[in-house]
Chain A
Amino acid sequence: MLVDLRVNTTPGLLGRLHIDLPLLFALLLLCTVGLAVLFSATDRSADMIEKQLLRLGLAFGLMLIIAQISPEKLRQWSLPLFVIGVIMLVAVEIIGDIGKGAQRWLDLGIIRFQPSELLKLAVPMMLARFFASGTLPPSLPRVFGAIVLTAVPVLLIARQPDLGTSLLVLSAAGVTLFLAGISWKLIALFLTLIGSAMPLLWLFLHDYQRQRVLMFLDPQSDPLGSGYHIIQSQIAIGSGGVYGKGWFQGTQSHLEFLPERSTDFIFAVFGEEFGLIGIVLLLTLYLMIVLRGLYIAARSQDIYSRLLVGALTMLFFVYIFVNTGMVVGLLPVVGVPLPLISYGGTSLVTIMVGFGIMMSVHTAKKSLPI
């Protein structure tokens, strides 16, 4: 097995640059598709494409830089990053800017930074480090400790209020626990608890969040108001059919019936223009990236790397599932972008840093003494 691993690791220049070729190739392909859809969704806006290209370039650069950092270093940084992240969340809570009607941004003078994005990485890193310091599967007190470590940032983010991000952080933590091997009984218990907490959660939701859930259940009750997004995106996708209307031929998006068509609802543009066939191909590409991530996790040697890569991979999957599920009307509207395709830079950076970590782990195996 050890021999196999050594053979499998990428040799030569790419190995020394800590690049995983299949992953890089898949990501580049995805970004190309993303830019093509975005070009249509923005109605050939060269300006927006330029900006997105710049962001992609920066994000890819960041990914390659992160890939150079050894997993060991990452492990050491886990605690400080987590602590800094939580402090920033508290700072947002106290002095946070008002951005988009909710306190999410922290103005650091030169750049405005969204601390909750950092936590998407810092929470799985912290949990992975926490579990790696003990044995697997984790003991009950450790599981409890992990829950506390997760609850603090999740609740702080939910208070901003940013339900989407807090759910993403929560799911990243959940995946870490799952991969750490907690017993199925415990998993069943958690799911039951979450299920029974739902009505309680309803009380804590903001009006607009409740509205979204209600609209998800019955979009036709307010077709021109809150239900508009859901209805228009389903019209876009449904009218696309099997083969789609063709690139630039989507009437729902080009005639501006579809709101947020370049950001959260870009999947509807894709579905309208490329049809079921296009979507199946796109989801296959996503699935290949997820499988590659899980493969890297399974092949990595230490608990920290495994848990972290596994969690980040599944976080990437949750992004895709929540976004597509929302656009096709399976899930309520939550502000989660379609990774690497939606216009915007915030989550792009987080995701690409995650892939940087995966590459770091994958290419670092050789040097690990096992």
Chain B
Amino acid sequence: MMDSTFKDPRRANHSFTRRAVVAALLALSSFGVVIARLIHLQIFKREYFSTLSEDNRVKVEPLPPTRGLIYDRNGVLLADNTPSFSLVIIPGKVTDIKATIAELSQLVTISDNDRARFTRLLSQHRRFDGVPIRLDLNELECASFAVHGHLFPGVEIRAELLRHYPFREHTAHVLGYVGRINENEAKKIDKSDYAGTSHIGKTGVEKAYENLLHGEVGHQQVEVNARGRVLRTLNEKPPVSGHDLHLFLDIDLQIDTAAAMAGQRGAVVAIDPNTGGVLAMVSMPSFDPNPFVGGIGVTDYVALRDNIDRPLYNRAVRGQYPPASTIKPFIGLGGLVNKNISFTERRYCGGYYQLPGHGHKYRCWRRGGHGTLTMEGSIVESCDVYFYRLAHDMGVERLDEFLAHFGFGNKTGIDFADELGGLLPSPAWKQRVRREPWFPGETLILGIGQGAFLVTPLQLAAATAAMANHGHYLRPRMVATTRNPTTGNLEPTAINDHQIPVTNHYHWKAVIEAMAQVVEGPRGTAKRIRSPYYRIAGKTGTAQVFTIGQNERYNEAQVAERMRDHALFIAFAPVEHPQIAVAVIVENGRHGGSAAAPVARQVIDSYLLKRRSSSNETPATDEDSNGD
């Protein structure tokens, strides 16, 4: 180092200036680097960052549509939407969920059920979706949380419209109900359609008409801040409410029908033969669907599920019973059409029937036999032997073919979810399912509606309506019209029908007259329900739940209550211009004539005789029908 040279102040000054210039250049180039980086960010990647900035700022929020309403035939509201306030926790915004729930429980009551549901739902939700901890807050609780809400970041009150069924257990099996979308359903639905919607039709009409009832989701673009608070709406596509449904159902008739069935298990389906519209559909016992909407507690649900009377089970569309003697008019008609017998031809009933060459005795319900009977007599007195022989003469293929025209063995195709189709046994079916050949005796059993033959009350009612219509089979319908919320247009649901190939009008008239004599005739099995105001055509049935051995006697007293025969009754009235067709099944009711027929009478009375305050608004179908 040459110290001496630098002691000269001028040299030192010069040296410092040089260094200062270097420093200035350093500053300049550093800023240059910063600006180069800014050019990169603000010019070359501007688009990219602008997009990110918009993504930050703008959130698309779904606007859930309002679910369509459901009305009965007289405009009575059966399913509406009522505001409900629930307390939700947004898991992504809460650090200690347990502690938060503990603190919340001092503000509003939180039951163990609430906690259990919360835990269950928590695993199914995304982090920034609200999970309900309490449903259906009352006004006081809402107010209380409104005051203290600021202490609970990530907890908010959510207002939503929840489905409400004002007629509760009266409509549970008729409308079905909605509930929260579960994992399986979430996989099937279109996610964007259901953005913002938490409920979906689970059963019945609610499920069958889900697409129409749901409506179309709307969207709004909102500007949000970093904490997700909505500051303003940028643009909006409003949701479209779901279609309203107007049912054929008459809620007063529905309630009267349930009253007629009070304390019993079973089902009643009433159909307007002119339209196929379901006027009443009762499955007893029933339940209140409203708790299912909010999310029913586990204990309440288990109590319903494990109830021995099975209230959740919709017997009207899923209950499958042997039609028993109610099938006899249909088989009789088949015999006439196939010319196996004429209406006036007499047959002898000695109390049992034997197949040629077989020892087995197929017994009539009357052990002494009916003596000599025409078809009318055998229907009126429900002679088994007459129909054993007729079935044998027709053969199982003819029998099945003819019964299938009335919808037996197939789902009716009603606009109602989860219907079952019953069972019309055939040799092919037996070979396929049981891998056994068809025995001739099974044809006989089929002839009296027993054996493997199963029908639902709905199928039976629809077949009865077809009988009343002289063979014009109308697929049963729940919904009469749907109302488009945008246009206000009422659109009738499609009629699906066919004509049963019985060309001779006399055949219909004869069999129907025989059915009328079941009620009107002095020997009729349902003569106790005869009405002075109109004529009823009907047929009783008694379905064996349990098989009696060859030489045993059926002793009712010894048979446990739940092993007793099911009582069945089909009917329509008035005979001359039918307005209502009914199928009644009373489980373990013993005799169709005593247990089921009176129910049908009450239903028909209610529909035909009770003049209701709203009767002048009753749809045209009641007044304008011509009877065929």
Q: A234 and B41 in contact (CB under 8 A), knowing A294-B23, A330-B34?
A: yes
Q: A251 and B6 in contact (CB under 8 A), knowing A241-B42, A321-B34?
A: no
B27 lies within 8 A of A287 (CB): yes
Smallest distance from the beta carbon of A190 to chain B beta carbons, Å?
15
Taking CB atoms, residues of chain A closer than 8 Å to B16 are 136, 179, 181, 297-298, 306, 310
A235 lies within 8 A of B34 (CB): no
Of B22, B35, B45, B224, chain A has the most CB atoms within 10 Å of the CB of B35
B23 lies within 8 A of A239 (CB): no
Taking CB atoms, residues of chain B closer than 8 Å to A241 are 42-43, 46, 50
B143 close to chain A: CB less than 8 A:
no
User: Which residues of chain A from 127 to 158 have a CB within 8 Å of any chain B CB?
Assistant: 135-137, 139-140
A176 to B17, CA, bound (A): 13
Q: Which residue of B lies closest to A272 (CB)?
A: B53
Q: Is the interface of A mostly helix, strand, loop or mixed?
A: helix
Chain-B contact segment, one of A92-100, A101-109, A273-281, A348-356: A273-281
Chain B: residues with Cβ within 8 Å of the partner, total of: 42
Q: Is the interface of B mostly helix, strand, loop or mixed?
A: helix
B37 close to chain A: CB less than 8 A:
yes
B39 close to chain A: CB less than 8 A:
yes
Smallest distance from the beta carbon of B36 to chain A beta carbons, Å?
9
Q: A257 and B226 in contact (CB under 8 A), knowing A239-B53, A241-B50, A290-B27?
A: yes
A175 to B56, CA, bound (A): 42
User: Which residues of chain A from 289 to 342 have a CB within 8 Å of any chain B CB?
Assistant: 290-291, 294, 297-298, 303, 306, 310, 313-314, 317, 320-321, 324-325, 328-330
Taking CB atoms, residues of chain A closer than 8 Å to B1 are 137, 139-140, 183
Of A251, A294, A297, which contacts B57 at CB under 8 A? A251
B159 close to chain A: CB less than 8 A:
no
A238 close to chain B: CB less than 8 A:
yes
Q: A235 and B227 in contact (CB under 8 A), knowing A181-B6, A324-B34?
A: no
A238 to B52, CA, bound (A): 10
A137 to B6, CA, bound (A): 7
Of B15, B23, B48, which contacts A238 at CB under 8 A? B48
Taking CB atoms, residues of chain B closer than 8 Å to A181 are 6, 12, 15-16, 19
* Interface pairs (22), CB distance under 8 Å: A137-B6, A175-B23, A178-B23, A181-B6, A181-B15, A236-B53, A237-B42, A238-B46, A239-B49, A251-B223, A252-B53, A255-B225, A256-B226, A257-B57, A276-B39, A276-B43, A279-B35, A287-B27, A291-B24, A294-B20, A328-B38, A329-B41
Going nearest first, the 5 A-B pairs with the smallest beta carbon separation are A238-B49, A239-B53, A256-B226, A238-B41, A255-B225
Which chain A residues have a beta carbon within 8 Å of chain B's beta carbons? 135-137, 139-140, 175, 178-179, 181, 183, 232, 234-242, 251-252, 255-257, 271, 275-276, 279-280, 283, 286-287, 290-291, 294, 297-298, 303, 306, 310, 313-314, 317, 320-321, 324-325, 328-330
Which chain B residues have a beta carbon within 8 Å of chain A's beta carbons? 1, 3, 6-7, 12, 15-17, 19-24, 27-28, 30-31, 33-35, 37-39, 41-43, 45-46, 48-50, 52-53, 56-57, 223-227, 231
